[in-house]
Amino acid sequence: MTRWSPMQYNLAMHDSQTTVAALRQMVQQFVERRDWRPFHAPKNLAMSLAIEAAELMEHFQWLTIEQSRAVTGDPVKLAAVGEELADVLCYALAMANELELDISQTVRDKMAKNERKYPVEEYRGRFGPEDPNPPG
């Protein structure tokens, strides 16, 4: 198992070069080095994840759709949003570690379920069954 050091956190590795397993390991080692596992009960992690998701939502709270998309053009705002998203992802990874969930398989299973639940021909360009626009 590769041990992560603070210097390694800053290496330029992008999504195409980083595995889910590597991210899980990074979070696990961070938790272990601080002896935080006693605090990482699923209940606590779920609550922390929700809190961080709310902090992410704060960045978009009163913005229009167009303004929310424009965040990508503002490096300062984008960095702040990225930090909150990273917090959400870190708690999700910690939850997967604690529950020993295989994230890749869990996401594949969920996407297959979503494909059945939301067939393309019925939902293309529609947000859901309450959408007033006709299917197709």
pLDDT at 11 (0 to 100):
65
Q: How far apart are CA 55 and CA 88, in angstroms?
A: 9
Q: How far apart are CA 74 and CA 102, in angstroms?
A: 35
Segment 47-95, tens digit of pLDDT: 999 999 999 999 999 999 999 999 999 999 999 999 999 999 999 999 9
pLDDT at 13 (0 to 100):
78
Residue 8 has pLDDT above 70, yes or no: no
Residue 111 has pLDDT above 60, yes or no: yes
What would the mean pLDDT of 121-131 be, rounded to a whole number? 89
pLDDT at 77 (0 to 100):
98
Answering whether pTM is above 0.85, one says: yes
Do 97 and 27 meet the contact criterion of CB atoms below 8 Å apart? yes
Per-residue b or e along 32-59, where b marks 16 or more CB atoms closer than 10 Å to that residue's CB: eeeeeeeebeeebbeebbeebeebbeeb
pLDDT at 107 (0 to 100):
97
Segment 12-22, tens digit of pLDDT: 678 999 999 99
pLDDT at 5 (0 to 100):
62
